[in-house]
């Protein structure tokens, strides 16, 4: 923790006070206008700003265990839904990225059917990850990087997003694009499913195809 504290302590002096950065930070006072909503796992190996090169103000983030997008359940309060709605309806992001990653503990636990009874909050949360068609659990066998399962899972979460009224409205008027990404933590490689504004990403019988960006 010490190095984290040390860096936090010196951040203003070493970065913000740097003449090359001062104006950009000062502009943040006026508000934010991020380009995209980036939904990914809480995993510490996934660092969206590092991967995308986003600077402060450019990426609005939602991080959940296993990058699960819960089913839309109005009128129940949901932090995830609030974050998504704010990004899409207030900030007006034009793109939403759902980014899964290799070696994901959450998706791995699902595909391996691990006993999660000692972590009931994790168990119950991951139940949200299993879509009605069981896309994640039908992908087998599980490789150590659980790539295929993660990719199927990402596509399932993208489909869930479509049920959010704010997303559906923006897709209907053609002003929002959904993206499905897969990040390999040990190589830094990012692959993606073809961006879409309309059609279901998982037509029957078609396996997810992720290709380099």
Q: Tell me how far, at minimum, the Cβ of 104 lies from Zn ion, in Å.
A: 3
Residue 115's SS3 state is coil
Is 77 within 8 Å of 70 (Cβ atoms)? no
Q: Tell me how far, at minimum, the Cβ of 45 lies from Zn ion, in Å.
A: 8
* 171 contact partners, CB below 8 Å, separation of at least 6: 162, 178, 197, 198
* 49 contact partners, CB below 8 Å, separation of at least 6: 55, 59
Is 153 within 8 Å of 129 (Cβ atoms)? yes
- The answer to the question of residue 167 lying near Zn ion (CB under 5 A) is no
Q: What is the 3-state composition of the chain as percent helix, strand, coil, each rounded to the nearest 5?
A: 40, 15, 45
Is 41 within 8 Å of 64 (Cβ atoms)? yes
Q: Binding site annotation covers 101?
A: yes
The residue among 99 and 171 lying less far from Zn ion, judged by its C-beta, is: 99
Q: Binding site annotation covers 99?
A: no
Q: Binding site annotation covers 128?
A: no
Number of residues engaging Zn ion in binding (CB under 5 A): 4
The residue among 76 and 121 lying less far from Zn ion, judged by its C-beta, is: 121
The residue among 36 and 40 lying less far from Zn ion, judged by its C-beta, is: 40
The residue among 41 and 81 lying less far from Zn ion, judged by its C-beta, is: 41
Residues 41-70 that bind Zn ion (CB under 5 A): 41, 43
Residues 24-43 that bind Zn ion (CB under 5 A): 41, 43
- How many other C-beta atoms lie within 10 A of the C-beta of residue 116? 17
Q: How far is CA 100 from CA 4, 105, 109, 156, 179, in A?
A: 26, 11, 14, 11, 11
Q: Binding site annotation covers 43?
A: yes
Q: Tell me how far, at minimum, the Cβ of 150 lies from Zn ion, in Å.
A: 8
Residues 84-123 that bind Zn ion (CB under 5 A): 104, 106
The residue among 166 and 208 lying less far from Zn ion, judged by its C-beta, is: 208
Q: Tell me how far, at minimum, the Cβ of 41 lies from Zn ion, in Å.
A: 3
Q: What is the distance between the alpha carbons of residues 194 and 198, in angstroms, rounded to a whole number?
A: 11
Q: Tell me how far, at minimum, the Cβ of 9 lies from Zn ion, in Å.
A: 30
Q: Which residues bind Zn ion (CB under 5 A)?
A: 41, 43, 104, 106
Binding-site positions for Zn(2+):
41, 43, 101, 104
């Amino acid at each position: 923790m010490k190095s984290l504290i040390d860096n936090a302590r010196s951040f203003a002096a070493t970065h913000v006070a740097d003449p090359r950065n001062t104006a950009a930070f000062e502009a943040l006072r006026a508000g934010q206008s991020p380009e995209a909503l980036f939904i990914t796992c809480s995993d510490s190996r996934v660092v969206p700003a590092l991967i995308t090169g986003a600077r402060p103000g450019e990426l609005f983030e939602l991080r959940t265990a296993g990058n699960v997008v819960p089913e839309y359940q109005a009128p129940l309060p949901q932090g995830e839904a609030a974050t998504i709605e704010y990004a899409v309806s207030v900030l007006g992001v034009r793109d939403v990225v759902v980014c899964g990653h290799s070696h994901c503990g959450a998706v791995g636990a699902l595909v391996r059917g691990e006993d999660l009874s000692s972590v009931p909050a994790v168990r119950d949360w991951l139940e949200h990850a299993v879509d009605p068609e069981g896309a994640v659990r039908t992908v087998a066998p599980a490789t150590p990087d659980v790539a295929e399962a993660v990719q199927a899972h990402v596509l399932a979460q993208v489909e869930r997003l479509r049920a959010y009224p704010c997303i559906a409205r923006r897709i209907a008027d053609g002003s929002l694009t959904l993206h499905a990404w897969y990040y390999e933590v040990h190589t830094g490689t990012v692959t993606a499913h073809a961006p879409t504004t309309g059609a279901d990403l998982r037509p029957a019988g078609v396996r997810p195809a992720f290709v380099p960006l």
